[in-house]
Amino acid sequence: MHNGDELIKAVADNCDNTIPVIQSVGPVDMESWIDHPNITAVVWANLGGQELGPALVDILYGKVNPSGRLVYTIARNASDYAQPNIVREPQPYPQINYTEGVSVDYRGFKKGGKTPRFWFGHGLSYSNFSYSNLQVNTHSDLADNINIPIKYVADAPGGDSRLYDLAVTVSFDIHNDEIIATILNNGKHPKTGWQLLKEATLKEMFTNQVPQFPDFARNLEPTSPPQGWGLSFFTLLHPGPTGRSANAVFWTGLANLVWWADVENGIGGIMASQILPFGDSDFFNCHAEVETQLYAALPKSSIIAAVEPTREDK
């Protein structure tokens, strides 16, 4: 959120019991307001999903005792992190090389003698706990029957059978293409016939939500002409050079992954790699060639003509 720090301070200046709720995928710099006398607590909500609202109400009003713990360290200064920025010029995508070795997060703070605002594992609740009179007893019968190290049986399924008991065997089929097929089938699952997405929902998903920003994220897939932003994916504003029709939708992933669904031509697919950093030219060239060949193999009568982007589009 833009100017979020100023909003928190403005509320705290006028409310003597202010509790900021942070929804973030990583650490946030809170030094400008964390010591404000009217800020009595901070709730770190991460990304809580659709039931986050009721859950927060239960926590804030004491119906449920919070018990979460931080999964990373929150610094007092961004410069205290070994890798304060994950996006650097000239590449527009996240990349971390971990030049600090194993001194990541709290290890790095300890090694550098830096005191963070909140350590990894920090978390409070409405209860106070004290630990005392800790005792550890060694059971001789157990100690006598354990050989350390335990010899690993390499050819045993699941590892050394002395380390586990077989409780249940589970088998299943998994498919990763059915959501694309569902989109192509007007929201109806092609195998079960269930209507997973309403037609009105699909229509809204395919509607360009930011028509004023045709170049919003063109750098993510260099071969794409100007694009719009639907709900859950990008939308093409013009036919694409590989054969995609206008209004085809697509998305790209950080580890060089591309999926697309072209309803007008009735075709879609996914191509994935585990290659970093993002924007690998070999991957995108390969994907463009594969997609071009797929469109070329379609019956000519079913293809909505593709055109090369104009100079203004490029």
pLDDT tens profile 50-78: 888 999 999 999 888 888 899 999 999 98
- Residue 196 placed within a domain: yes
Query: Could you give the number of structural domains in the chain?
Result: 1
At 238 the pLDDT is 82
At 181 the pLDDT is 87
At 216 the pLDDT is 63
- Residue 279 placed within a domain: yes
51, 118, 200 from 183: Cα distances, Å: 26, 44, 12
> What's the burial of 11, exposed, middle or buried (CB within 10 Å: 0-12/13-18/19+)?
middle
At 309 the pLDDT is 35
Taking the whole predicted model, whether its pTM rises above 0.75 is answered as: no
Span of 29-33, 167-171, 304-308 with lowest mean pLDDT: 304-308
Residue span of the structural domain in which 270 resides:
178-302
- Residue 77 placed within a domain: no
At 178 the pLDDT is 78
Average pLDDT value over all residues in the chain: 79
- Residue 217 placed within a domain: yes
Sign of CA dihedral 192, 194, 197, 200: positive
- Residue 135 placed within a domain: no
- Residue 88 placed within a domain: no
At 127 the pLDDT is 73
> What's the pLDDT tens digit per position in 158-187?
555 666 666 666 665 555 557 888 888 888
139 pLDDT exceeds 60? no
92 pLDDT exceeds 50? yes
At 34 the pLDDT is 96
284 pLDDT exceeds 50? yes
- Return the exposure string of 55-86: e unless at least 16 CB atoms fall within 10 Å of the residue's CB, then b: ebeebeeeeeebeeebebbbbeeeebbbeeee
Measured in degrees and rounded to the nearest 5, phi and psi for residue 23 equal -110, 110
Q: For position 283, which CATH number holds?
A: 3.40.710.10
At 41 the pLDDT is 93
Q: How far apart are CA 97 and CA 46, in angstroms?
A: 25
Q: Which residues contact 114 (CB under 8 A, 6 or more apart)?
A: 75, 80, 108
Q: How far apart are CA 204 and CA 187, in angstroms?
A: 12
Average pLDDT over residues 187-209: 87
- Percent of the chain whose pLDDT exceeds 90: 25
Beta strands, E only, the chain: 21-22, 43-44, 227-229, 234-236, 249-253, 257-262, 267-272
- Residue 63 placed within a domain: no
Say how many C-beta atoms besides its own lie within 10 A of residue 28's C-beta. Answer: 16
Span of 39-48, 89-98, 281-290 with lowest mean pLDDT: 89-98
- Residue 184 placed within a domain: yes
